[in-house]
Structure 1
Amino acid sequence: MSGAESAASAVTAGGEGHDRRWRVLALCLLAGFMTLLDVSIVNVALPSIQRGLDAPPVALSWVISGYALAFGLVLVPMGKLGDAHGRGRMFLVALAAFTVASGLAGAAQNPAWIVVARLLQGAAGGMLNPQVLGLIQQQFHGRERGTAFGLFGAVVGISTAVGPLLGGLIIELAGAEHGWRWVFFVNLPIGLAALIAAARIMPRGSGNRQLRGADALGVFLLGAAVVCLLLPLVDREGMSGPLSWSLWAAVPVLLLLFVTWELRCSRRGGSPLVDLRLFRISSYTFGATLGMLYFAGFTSIFFVLAVYFQRGLGYSALQAGLALTPFAVGSAVSSAFSGRAVHRLGRKVVLLGLGGALLGLLTTEILLSRHQGDLAGLVIALPLLVGGVGSGMVISPNQTVTLSEVDVARGGTAAGVQQTGQRIGTAIGTATASGLFFAALPGDYDTAIAHGLLASVSFVAAAVLVGLLELLVTRRRRDPSTT
C-alpha cells in the first residue's frame, strides 16, 4: 500500500480525516446504488424499449444479459487494477465510464446501439464495484467497518428491490414510448454530481506497486471460464441445447488451467491475477460460498414475482414494484443495526438473518401456492418484510466477516472474486427459478410461482447449511477435544 493510502486508512476518529472518510463512504454508496439498480430497473422497461426501438426479442434479452455478463467478467481484473494503481483513481475512471455509457444507452437509436451501450455500462459497473468495497475496507476499521458495510448492505437490498418500483414510476411519468430513455438518463445528473465530489475527496494513492504486473493469461483463462459459465445462463434462448452443455463442460478445464497458472506465477515471483492464498482463509472461503448461494436465492425472487404479478395477476409495473417494496424496507432497516452487531457476534448474525430470510420466503411460497388472486401483493407483504429483515442481516454482515482477515492491500481483488461468485449465484438462481416457473406454463400461475420460489428457498437453505458448517469447523478448531 502506498504512503498516501496508509495514511488515509489509519486516520483516527474526529477531525477532518474522520469527516472525509464518511464523505468517501457516501460516494461509494451512491455509486454502488447506481450500478446495482441498473441490474433490476431495466426489467420493467423492456416493453417500453421494444416499442420505442422496435427491438426484437433477442435484443431485449441482451439488454438484460449483456449488462450482467460484462459486469461479472471484469470484476476480478478491475479489482486487482485498483489494488495496484489506487482505488480512488479507478473509482473516478469507472464512474465517468458508467455515466457516459448510461447517456449512450438513453440516446440509443436502434437495437444494436442499446445492446452495445449496455455492455459498456455493465463493464463500467463491474469496474466500479470492487473499488467501492476496497475503499470501505481501506477507510474503516473495527466497529466502524461493520457500520459502513451495513450501510452498503442496505444499498444492495434497496437497489435490488426498489428497481422495479422506480422503473415503473419513471415510465409512468415519462410515457410508455420514451420513458425507457429516462431509466438511463436519470444516471447523468447523479453521476456528474458524484464525479465533481469524488474529484475533491477521493484518496489519490498510487496503490501497491508490488501487485503491478500483467497477468494476461490469468485474465484470459478466468474470463473465458466466467463467459462459458454465465453465457448459457444469461442468454438461455440463444445458448440452448448442445452449445450450452459444451460451454459448461469447458468451465472446469479452464478453471483447472487458471489455478495451475496462478500457482506457477506465484512460485516464479510474478503478480498473479488472484493470490490463491486467499482461499486458505476459512472465513473468506466459507463467506464467499455462503454469499454465492444466498444471492442465488434472494435475487431470483424479484424476477419470478415481477412476472407473476404482471402476467399472472395483471398488475402494472408500478403495482408490481410496490408489492416488492416491503422486502426493500425490511432489508434497509435491518442492515443498519446488523452492521454494528456483527463486530460483536460475527457470523451468528448472518445465520440469524438466513433463518429470517428462509422463513419469509418459505411462507411467501406457501401462501402464493394457494391462489390469493388480486390480493396476493397484500397477503405476502408481511412475509416479504420478514424476509427483507433477514436479508439485511445477511448481506452486509457476511461481507464484513468474509473480508475481516483479508490483507487490506488486496481488498479490491478479494472483493472482486467475492462479487464474481455473487454474480454467478444470481445467474444460476435466476435461471433455475425462472426455468421452473416457465416450465409450469401455460397453465396455473399459482403453481408456477410456487415452483419458482421453491428454487429460491432451496438456495437459501443451502446457504444456511454452509453457515452451520463453518460454525462447526470453527468450534472444533477452538476446542480440539470435540474431535
Structure 2
Amino acid sequence: MVASDRRPLLLPVVLAAMFMYGFDLNVVNVAVPSLHRDLNAGQAALELVVGGYAFAYAAGLVTGGRLGDLFGYRRMFLSGMGAFTVASVLCGIAQSPGQLVGARLLQGLTAAMMVPQILAVITSSFPVPERPKALAWFGVTAAVSGVFGQVLGGVLLSADVFGLGWRVIFLLNAPVGIAVLLLAARVLPRAATARTAGLDPIGVLGVSGSLALALIPLVLGRGAGWPWWCWAMLALSVPAALLIVSYERRLLARGGAPLLDLSLFRVRSFRAGLAISVAFMASFAGSIFVVSLLLQNGLGLGPFQAGLTFAPMALAGVVAPFAGKRLIATHGPARAILLGCAADLAAMLGLAIALNLRGGGVESWWLAIVLALLGLGNSLILPALIGTALSEVDPRQAGIASGTLNTTQQFAGSAGLAVIGTIFFAVLGDRPSGAAEYASAAEAAAWICVVLVAAMAALTALLSRRRAAPDREPAAARS
C-alpha cells in the first residue's frame, strides 16, 4: 500500500493518463475534415487515423498488463507515459497521411503500456475500504474523457490555437505528459515486482496476431466494402485464438508463465464482469458513433455545436459516480449496474421512439437529454462493473487482469462499432438526401442498443442471484 499522505495525489496522477487516452481516442473525430483538407488524407487513411489507435491499443493491452506484473506498475506507467507523450508529438508534426497513421499506431501501443497499470495501481495501492471511491473516480474519468475529447476538440479547432489547426489536439499532450511524468515519479510507490518469469514471446505474438485477425477487418471492412480478405481474416481469428489458448494451457502445465493467465477465468466474478463488459462496450461505442453522425451529418451541426450537445453527458458522468458509490456500498455493485441499465434503456428507447415520431426533425435538445441519461447510466455501470470484475482477483494478478478486462472492453467496443455502424450505413444508403435518412438509420441502431442493454441487465440479474449465496473460497486459492 502507498503511504496515506500520498494517496490523494496518486489517484489524480494515474487518472490523468486515463483521461489522455480517452481524450485522444475521440478528439480525432472532430478533426477528420481538417485532416482531409490539410493532409489530403483519403478515406482509408482517415479510418486508420481514427481506428488504428484503438486497434493498436487493444492488441497491446494484455502484453502491457503482463509487463506491469513483471517489471512493476511504476516502471511501466512512467515508460508508457513518456512514450505516449513522444508519440503524441510525432502525431502533431506529421507531414503526410502515412506519417500520421504510423504515429497513431505508436500512440495506441504506448497507451497500452500505461493504461493497464492504472487499475493495477488502484487495486494494489488502496485498501479495500477506499477502493470503491477510487474506482468511482476511475469511472468518472473514463466516462467524461471521450466526451471532453469532442467538446474541447471542437473548441480548440474553432479557436485555431497558435495557428496550429488540427495539430494542437496532439501537441497539447506534450506539456500535460511532462507534468504527469514529474508528479508520477514522486508519488507512485516503488513496489517490488511479484514475478520474475519471462514474457512468453510466443504468447505475445499469438494473442496480438489473433486479435489483429479479428480487429483489422472490423476496423477497415466497412470502408473497404467488406472484401473476401475481411471474411477470411475473421474466420481465421477463431482457430488462431483456440491455438494460442491451447498453447498457453500447455505452457502453464509445464510450469511456465504464460501471457494469458487462464486461472483468472476460474474466478466467477471476473468471468461475469467480462461478459457484461461485452454488451456494455458494444452498446456504448455504437451509440456514441451513431449520435455523432446524426448530429453533424444529419442535423447539420458543426463540430463545436455537436460537441456542446454532449456536454450534459459529461456533467452526468461527473455527478453520477458519487451516487453510485453510495449505492454500491449499501446495496452492492449488481444493484448499481441494474440502475445504470435502466437509465441506458430509457435513453435508447427514448432515442428510438423520438426518431420514429420526429424523423429528421428531432431537436438537438432532445438528443442532449438522451445523452445525459446515457452518461448517467454509463457512469453508474462502469465503476461497479470494474469493481465486480476485479473484486476477487489476487492482487499479484492485478496487472494481467486489468489488461485482459481492458482488452475485452476494447474488442467489444470495436466489434459493436463495426456491426452497428455497418447496419447504420446499410439503412442509410449510398446517397442520403437529408436528415430523414440519417434519422431512420439512427433509429435502427438505437433498437440494436436496446437489445444489448437488455442483455446486459439480464446477465447482471443472473450474477446478483448467484452471489446471494456467498462464495467463501478466496480468489487466491481458486487461482
TM-score (norm: length of structure 1) = 0.92
Partner of 2:259: 273
- Separation in 1 of the partners of 2:362 and 2:228? 42
Range 251-260 or range 374-383, more displaced: 374-383
| Alignment match of 2:461 (pick from 451, 458, 468) | 468
2:366 counterpart letter in structure 1: V
Deviation at 1:436, TM superposition (A): 1.6
Bigger CA drift: 18-27 or 72-81? Answer: 18-27
Contact 1:90–1:131 (CA<8 Å) still a contact in 2? yes
1:377 and 2:364 correspond: yes
The answer as to whether partners of 2:25 and 2:50 remain within 8 angstroms in 1 is: yes
Aligned with 2:416: secondary structure?
Answer: helix
Instruction: Tell me, in whole angstroms, the C-alpha distance in 1 between the residues paired with 2:127 and 2:224.
Output: 46
Aligned residue for 2:411? 424
CA contact (8 A) 1:153 1:396 kept: yes
Pairing partner for 2:44 from 38, 58, 62: 58
1:351 aligns with 2:344: no
How far residue 214 of structure 1 moved from its aligned partner, in angstroms, is 2.6
Unpaired runs of 5+ residues, structure 2, are: 472-479
Residue 195 (structure 2) pairs with residue 209 (structure 1): yes
Tell me, in whole angstroms, the C-alpha distance in 2 between the residues paired with 1:277 and 1:132.
Answer: 22
Residue matched to 2:13: 27
Query: Is residue 447 from structure 1 mapped to residue 440 from structure 2 by the alignment?
Result: yes
Shift of 1:243: 1.0
Residue 448 of structure 1 and its aligned partner are, at CA, apart by 1.1
Q: Does 1:234 align with 2:219?
A: yes
Q: Quick check: 1:361–1:383 contact (8 Å CA) kept in 2?
A: yes
Q: Which amino acid aligns with 1:314?
A: G
**What does residue 225 of structure 1 align with?**
210
Q: Distance in 1 between matches of 2:89 and 2:409?
A: 27
1:186-197 pair list within 5 angstroms: 186-197=172-183
Q: Tell me what 2:143 maps to.
A: 157
Alignment partners' CA distance in 1, 2:202 and 2:295: 46
- Out of 69, 90, 93, the residue aligned to residue 76 of structure 2 is 90
Aligned pairs (5 A) from 1:113-262? 113-174=99-160, 178-210=164-196, 212-236=197-221, 237-238=223-224, 240-262=226-248
Structure 1 pair 424–434 and aligned structure 2 pair: CA distance change class (3 A): same
Shift of 1:205: 2.5
Q: How far off its partner does 1:39 sit?
A: 0.9
Structure 1 stretch 198-207 or stretch 132-141: which is displaced more? Answer: 198-207
Structure-1 separation of matches of 2:204 and 2:95: 34
Q: Which runs of 5+ in 1 are unaligned?
A: 1-8, 12-16, 479-483
State the partner residue of 1:39.
Answer: 25
**Matched residues in 2 for 1:314 and 1:247: separation?**
37
Contact preservation (8 Å) 2:313, 2:373: yes
Following the alignment from structure 1 to structure 2, what is the Cα–Cα distance between the partners of residues 374 and 285? 43
Distance 1:133 1:175 in 2: 34
Structure 1's 402 and 314: CA in aligned 2 closer, same or farther, altered over 3 A? same
Show the counterpart of 1:457.
450
Q: How many residues align structurally?
A: 463
- 2:376 maps to which of 356, 371, 389: 389
CA distance in 2, matches of 1:139, 1:342: 20
What is the root-mean-square deviation in Å for CA atoms of aligned residues? 1.8
Contact kept, 8 Å, 1:429 with 1:455, in 2: the verdict is no
* TM-score using structure 2 length: 0.93
> Which residue of structure 2 lines up, in the alignment, with residue 101 of structure 1?
87
Q: Distance in 2 between matches of 1:298 and 1:243?
A: 28
- 2:153 alignment partner, SS class: helix
Determine if contact 2:92/2:168 at 8 Å carries over to the other structure: yes
| 1:4 aligned residue | none
28-37 vs 194-203, which deviates more? 194-203
Cα shift at 1:43: 0.7
Cα distance in structure 2, aligned partners of 1:367 and 1:147: 36
Query: Paired residue for 2:398?
Result: 411
The code of the aligned residue for 1:352 comes to L
Query: What secondary structure, in the 3-state scheme, does the structure 1 residue paired with 2:467 have?
Result: helix
| 8 Å CA contact retained: 2:200, 2:257 | yes
Q: Any conservation in 2 of the 1:361–1:384 contact (CA below 8 Å)?
A: no
CA contact (8 A) 1:142 1:343 kept: no
Q: Which amino acid aligns with 1:467?
A: T
Aligned residues of 2:360 and 2:439 also touching (Cα < 8 A): no
Once the two structures are superposed, residues 350-387 of structure 1 have per-residue CA deviations (whole angstroms, 9 ceiling, x without a partner) of 11111211111221221123236566210233232222
Amino acid at match of 1:234: V
Cα distance, 1:408 vs structure 2: 0.8
Relative to 1, partners in 2 of residues 1:74 and 1:398: Cα closer, same or farther, differing over 3 Å?
Answer: same
Shift in Å at residue 328 of structure 1?
1.9
Return closer, same or farther for 1:366/1:19 CA change in 2, 3 Å cut-off.
Answer: farther
Q: Which amino acid in structure 2 is aligned with residue 448 of structure 1?
A: A
What amino acid sits opposite 1:353 in the alignment? G
Equivalent AA in structure 1 for residue 438 of structure 2: Y
Task: Find 2:270's aligned residue among 271, 277, 284.
Answer: 284
> What one-letter code is carried by the residue in structure 2 that aligns with 1:157?
A
Residue by residue over 1:212-264, the C-alpha shift from the partner in whole angstroms, topping out at 9 and shown as x without a partner, is 21311111111111111111111122472221111111122112112211111
Runs of 4+ in 1 over 6 A off after TM superposition: none
- Match for 1:213: what amino acid? G
Per-residue CA distance 1:182-208 (angstroms, 9 max, x = gap): 110111111111111111221222411
Q: Distance in 2 between matches of 1:161 and 1:374?
A: 24
Taking the aligned partners of 1:159 and 1:369, their CA distance within structure 2 comes to 31
% same residue: 35
Give the SS at the match of 1:269: coil
Match of 1:14 in 2: none
Shift of 1:420: 0.5
Contact 2:285 2:416 in 1 (8 A): yes
Kindly indicate whether residue 306 of structure 2 is the aligned counterpart of residue 313 of structure 1. Answer: no
1:6 match? none
Partner amino acid for 1:453? A
Write out per-residue CA displacement over residues 97-120 of structure 1, whole angstroms, 9 at most, x where no aligned residue: 000100010001111110110001
Identify the residue that residue 474 of structure 2 maps to in structure 1: none
